[in-house]
A and B are shown apart, each in its own frame.
Chain A
Amino acid sequence: MKDVMGVINVVGRNSDLLGALTGPRCIASVPFGGKYRLIDFVLSSMANSGMQNVAVFTREKYRSLMDHLGSGKNWDLSRKQDGLIILPPHSCDGQSLPDFDLKSFFAHRNFFDRSSQKIVVVASANIICNVYFREAVRYHQETGADITVFYSEMVANEGGPPRRCLKVNETGRVLELVERQSWDQGTKVLLEIYILSKSLLMNLAEKSFLPGGADLLTGGIIPNLQKFNVCAYPLKGYSAVVDTIDLYYRHSMDLLCPQVWEELFFIPGLIHTKVKDEPPTRYLEGSAVANSLLANGCTIAGTVENSILFRGVRVHRGARVKNSVIMQKCEIGEGALVERVILDKDVRVSAGKALTGHDKKPLVVEKRKIV
Chain B
Amino acid sequence: MVLDKECVAMLLAGGEGRRLGFLTRELAKPAIPFGGKYRIIDFTLSNCTNSGIYTVGVLTQYKPLILNSHIGIGIPWDLDRKEGGVTILPPFAQEKGGKWYRGTANAIYQNLFFIEQHNPRYVLIVSGDHIYKMDYSLMLKYHQEKGADVTIAVIEVPWQEVHRFGVMDVGEDGRIITFSEKPKTPPSNLASMGVYLFNRKLLQKYLQKDEENPLSRNDFGRDVIPLMLHEGCRMFAYPFHGYWRDVGTIESLWEANMDLLAAEPALDIYDHNWRIYTVNPSQPPHFLAATARVEQSLINEGCIIHGTVQRSVLFTGVRVGEGSLIEESIIMPYVRIGRNVQIKRAIIDENTVIRDGCRIFSRSDTEPPQIILVEKSMIIQENTEISM
Identify the A interface with B (CB < 8 A): 33-35, 44, 73, 256, 258, 261-262, 265-266, 270-273, 275, 277, 279-297, 299, 308-309
Contacts and interface: CB of A to CB of B under 8 A. Distances in A.
17 contacts: A44-B282, A258-B289, A262-B304, A277-B76, A279-B35, A280-B298, A283-B295, A283-B296, A283-B298, A287-B295, A288-B293, A289-B294, A290-B291, A293-B287, A294-B285, A294-B288, A296-B300
A250 B66 CA distance: 42
A281 B299 contact: yes
Nearest to B286: A294
A279 B379 CA distance: 29
Nearest to B36: A280
Contacts of A288: 293
Interface of B: 35-37, 75-76, 263, 269-270, 275-278, 280-301, 304, 313-314
B35 A283 contact: no
A279 B284 contact: no
Contact of A293 (B35, B36, B286): B286
Contact of A277 (B277, B292, B297, B300): B277
A159 to B, nearest CB: 29
Contacts of A291: 288-290
B243 to A, nearest CB: 15
A258 B304 contact: yes
Nearest to B297: A283
Given A280-B35, A284-B296, 5 more contacts: A35-B285, A277-B280, A281-B300, A283-B297, A285-B295
A261 B35 contact: no
A261 B287 contact: yes
B283 A270 contact: yes
Given A34-B285, A290-B290, A285 B299 contact: no
A286 B295 contact: yes
Nearest to A272: B282
A22 B288 CA distance: 29
B292 to A, nearest CB: 6
A293 B288 CA distance: 6
A355 B371 CA distance: 46
B269 A33 contact: no
A293 B285 contact: yes
Nearest to A286: B295
Contacts of A279: 35-37, 269-270, 276, 298
A266 B300 CA distance: 16
Contacts of B287: 256, 258, 261, 292-293
A34 B278 CA distance: 20
Contacts of A270: 281-283
A295 B289 CA distance: 14
Given A290-B289, A295-B301, A33 B284 contact: yes
B85 to A, nearest CB: 16
A283 B261 CA distance: 8
Given A258-B304, A277-B280, A279-B276, A284 B263 contact: yes
Given A277-B277, A284-B295, A287-B294, A292 B288 contact: yes
Nearest to B285: A34
A273 B284 CA distance: 10
Contact of A290 (B283, B285, B292): B292
A272 B281 CA distance: 9
Max chain A CB contacts within 10 Å: which of B281, B287, B296, B298? B287
Contacts of A280: 35-37, 298-301, 313-314
